Amino acid sequence: MLWVKTLHLLFIISWFAGLFYLPRIYVNLAQADNDEVYACLLGMAERLYRFMTPLAILGVAFGLWLYLGYGLGRAQGWMHAKLALVFVLAGYHLHCKRVLDRFRSRNNRRSHTYYRWYNELPVILLIFILILVVVRPF
């Protein structure tokens, strides 16, 4: 099971790297005033989303394997809270796709400031998930 835990952590860390960087690209896309720069940034965002989606799937799959294999925390409140935050994180990931589609169709109506704040949600989720897993407050 240590290999499963290692792979879970590897894929989750990699997924978070993508979740931290993709909205930063959105900040730049919202500020782009040149079609060439816009096209380059849009390509970067599309490739990053395609790369991070399998990482998310594998991270969640290995986490599910740990949950079912160990039964770790099944009856404990911290695990329920963590799973709820993982669902929020998955929703954020899917919302990133909707935002990307808006940029692709040149239908973005949000400012770069909005995306700077939007970029903070995965950071906040990571902090709470780490506290729940390490401290297990309830």
Q: Please check if 8 is assigned to a binding site.
A: yes
User: How far is residue 7 from each of residues 2, 81, 88, 133, measured CA to CA in Å?
Assistant: 9, 22, 22, 17
Q: What angle do CA 86, 89, 95 make, to 5 degrees?
A: 145
Q: How far is CA 39 from each of CA 22, 27, 51, 66, 105, rounded to the nearest angstrom?
A: 15, 14, 18, 41, 12
97 annotated binding-site participant: no
Binding-site residues sit at: 8, 82
Residue ranges for the known binding site for heme are: 8, 82
